[in-house]
Amino acid sequence: MSESLAQQGIAGRINLRQMLAPLLIVLILSMMVLPLPSFALDVFFTFNIAISIMVLLVAMYTMKPLDFAIFPTVLLVTTLLRLSLNVASTRVVLLHGHTGPDAAGKVIEAFGHFLVGGNYAVGIVVFIILTLINFIVITKGAGRIAEVSARFTLDAMPGKQMAIDADLNAGLIGEDEARKRRANVALEADFYGSMDGASKFVRGDAVAGILILFINIIGGLIVGVLQHDMSAGDAAKAYTLLTIGDGLVAQIPALIISTAAGLVVTRVATEQDIGQQLVTQLFGNPMVLALTAGILGILGLIPGMPNLVFLLLASILGYLAWRQFKSPSAVAKERSAEATQPAAPVAESVEASWSDVVPVDMLGLEVGYRLIPLVDRSQAGELLKRIRGLRKKFAQEIGFLPAQVHIRDNLELRPNVYRLSLKGVPIGEGEAFPGQYLAINPGRVSGQLAGTPTQDPAFGLPALWIDASLREQAHVFGYTVVDASTVIATHLNHVILSHATELLGRQETQALLDHLATETPKLVEDLVPKQIGLGVLQRVLQNLLDEGVNIRDMRTIIETLAELVPRIQDPIELTSQVRIALGRAIVQQLYPNGNEMQVMALEPGLERLLGQALQGGGDAGGIEPGLADTLLRETAVAAQHQEDLGLPAVLLVPPHLRWLLSRFLRRAVQQLRVISNGEVPDTKIIKVTSIIGARK
């Protein structure tokens, strides 16, 4: 019973909070059309002043602008409140202004008499000055700052998002923290955009205040003279003082709110509020205080100057400077006293532990100092985005997520040099020039360019580093033109693809199984580790990757292994059978268009010799040296012929020779792909373009 009552109480408070804002807006709007008594006006005017003071104090004590994210809405609501009060007070002033100075309430009377001494001419001048200060100086300046901040924040959003993604990819933050930072970036852009728009309301309020002032004065004169038979002087005095009081009681809170808006948009986010920043940064340098005190003291000694005031302020600033000058000396004395004390015994060095063993990075990128802007998060380095993109593309095309690329600067490298490493061992190096472009010669260019000759670091093609002004001309000549970050990213992508086998470790294999288990948990559970060990599965997957076969279709791979492992445990034989199951995908990857396969083949007599060598020696070591040289030479010639025709270098062989020839021939012809007859789908038409071993 008590629990249900407590829940009902909580629900009631939640509903009340949800209804509070709509009720406040409705109340503000109703003041424009419903007549209010003078006491209600006093209450609302006092509430308006209190709200403005609260907003100013909150703005001063916030650490960063987003801590007061509701401020644009507060600006709109307070502006609407002041306008509603102006309408309500205008109605009361015009209806009852002839009865006396307290016709519109005590607050308006106090502002009309006490603040301006009952002189309506002085009141008009003071009101106009306050309005101009608010309109021209504070509101206009704050609006301009909000506009510029909104533009800069929107321009910086992509860089901030990339920096967050880079931190996430580098493992510096988790997914929750990354999601929180992305939300803050979007909220910051929305905040400054809203502040830019909200400042227009405040400027409009200042203009409306001036117009309302003159309209009320003219209307009061008309009402007083024509309806209440007052003289022009009496009507001017009565209605003008009430109008001035009404305007001042609205403009002073408006000025306070505008000041709060300026404080919010002009401050730089730190761990200190405005008061702490003011004390530490403005009054924190004793030399500044001492020089200011000296200048004021000299001015105070000049005859005719207000000597007392100048000398008093000079004395106060001089005292503050002396105190700050004294503090460091006292600290120095304490340090010297500590130095004279006998030194404490030096602590023994900590014993070595396993925490001193630092694991090597699976993938590493080291850059010279001139390449740091490409990978600097604070400068929104373009290379970070490209590395994130190539890891995502690798995962989509190959079938598993590679290790993160750990990036660091290395001052031992030449300024424009970068180095790629795998498991701590350098496997690639190149040179890149930010601000320039690499024009790669694909072999069919129609002109020459002025530049620094080099080679494409990924594929070894001849290239030139050219200035940005020659970029369009290079395109016209037929060069492939890329920027510095693309050069490094392409080289890294080539290295990752070339070493995909080594990147698939046991941890990645287990992560791949865990990912597959979310869709087919029973299939994975029945196979690993009940029927096949994780190491055997990893070896099969590595064999596939080693021959350029992606492992995206893990379901087919697992189902095939589940059928074979009861009678086959050899990873090589398992790989061959898995390739047959993946035959359609393998052929589609090599021949994406059409049903015809133009391939190379072995002469039947050569097939028999290789079959006998396989039975005798078991691997490529059983092939007679002369035959091996001839086989390598003719295969290289046939593969080059295929490439000249624009065809993939594919050799079609019997199933029992595929593994032997794949390992043997790919050492000399890296682009060669060896497939077996069993991997070719029935729907494909085979056309032999070259026969290796044929008599000439």
Q: Which backbone phi and psi does 347 adopt, to 5 degrees?
A: -70, 140
Second CATH level (architecture) for the domain 363-499? 3-Layer(aba) Sandwich (3.40)
Q: What confidence category does residue 350 fall into, taking pLDDT thresholds of 50, 70 and 90?
A: low
DSSP SS3 for 682: coil
Stretch (H or E) spanning 183: helix 175-222
* pLDDT at position 496: 92
Reported as a single tens digit per residue, the pLDDT across 641-685 is: 888 888 899 999 999 899 988 888 887 788 899 999 999 998 899
Average pLDDT, the chain: 79
Return the half-sphere exposure (C-beta side, CA atoms, 13 A cut-off) of residue 622: 14
CATH of domain 592-696: 3.40.50.12790
* pLDDT at position 334: 45
Closest CA to 212 of 245, 237, 187: 245
Stretch (H or E) spanning 689: strand 685-692
Closest CA to 371 of 389, 383, 385: 383
Which position has the higher pLDDT, 511 or 222? 511
Q: What is the mean pLDDT of residues 202-229?
A: 74
Q: What confidence category does residue 433 fall into, taking pLDDT thresholds of 50, 70 and 90?
A: very high
CA 586, 591, 594, 599 dihedral sign is negative
* pLDDT at position 150: 67
Cβ atoms 371, 434 nearer than 8 A: yes
Reported as a single tens digit per residue, the pLDDT across 129-139 is: 777 777 677 76
291-300, 336-345, 608-617: the lowest-pLDDT one:
336-345
Is residue 3 scored above 60 in pLDDT? no
Reported as a single tens digit per residue, the pLDDT across 501-552 is: 999 999 999 999 988 888 888 888 888 877 888 889 999 999 999 999 999 9
Q: How many CB atoms lie within 10 A of CB 585?
A: 17
Closest CA to 428 of 402, 455, 395: 455
123-127, 498-502, 503-507, 567-571: the lowest-pLDDT one:
123-127
Second CATH level (architecture) for the domain 504-581? Orthogonal Bundle (1.10)
Cβ atoms 126, 79 nearer than 8 A: no
Is residue 627 scored above 90 in pLDDT? no
Instruction: List, in sequence order, every beta strand (DSSP E) within 388-546.
Output: 405-409, 417-422, 425-431, 437-440, 452-455, 462-466, 480-483
Which position has the higher pLDDT, 687 or 121? 687
Angle between helices 625-644 and 655-665 (to 10 degrees): 90
At a CB cut-off of 8 Å and minimum separation 6, what does 432 contact? 371, 374, 416, 418, 438, 484, 485, 487, 488
* Helix, strand, coil % in the chain, rounded to nearest 5: 65, 10, 25
Cβ atoms 89, 108 nearer than 8 A: yes
Is residue 554 scored above 60 in pLDDT? yes
Length of the chain: 696
pTM: 0.52
Q: What is the mean pLDDT of residues 587-596?
A: 88
Is residue 299 scored above 80 in pLDDT? no
Highest mean pLDDT among 54-58, 420-424, 517-521: 420-424
At a CB cut-off of 8 Å and minimum separation 6, what does 277 contact? 267, 270
Instruction: List, in sequence order, every beta strand (DSSP E) within 17-109.
Output: none
Reported as a single tens digit per residue, the pLDDT across 29-43 is: 777 777 777 777 778
For residue 687, the one-letter residue type is: K
Angle between helices 534-546 and 571-581 (to 10 degrees): 60
Is residue 78 scored above 90 in pLDDT? no
86-95, 341-350, 624-633: the lowest-pLDDT one:
341-350
Residue 696 burial by CB count (10 A; 0-12/13-18/19+): exposed, middle or buried?
Answer: exposed
Is residue 294 scored above 80 in pLDDT? yes
Cβ atoms 693, 651 nearer than 8 A: no
Q: What confidence category does residue 113 fall into, taking pLDDT thresholds of 50, 70 and 90?
A: low
Is residue 210 scored above 80 in pLDDT? no
* pLDDT at position 157: 66
Is residue 1 scored above 60 in pLDDT? no
* pLDDT at position 586: 93
For residue 324, the one-letter residue type is: Q
Reported as a single tens digit per residue, the pLDDT across 595-624 is: 889 999 999 888 888 888 777 655 555 678
Q: What confidence category does residue 104 fall into, taking pLDDT thresholds of 50, 70 and 90?
A: low
* pLDDT at position 552: 92
At a CB cut-off of 8 Å and minimum separation 6, what does 372 contact? 409
* pLDDT at position 428: 92
Q: Domains of the chain: which residue ranges?
A: 27-279, 285-326, 363-499, 504-581, 592-696
Q: How many CB atoms lie within 10 A of CB 103?
A: 19
Cβ atoms 672, 600 nearer than 8 A: no
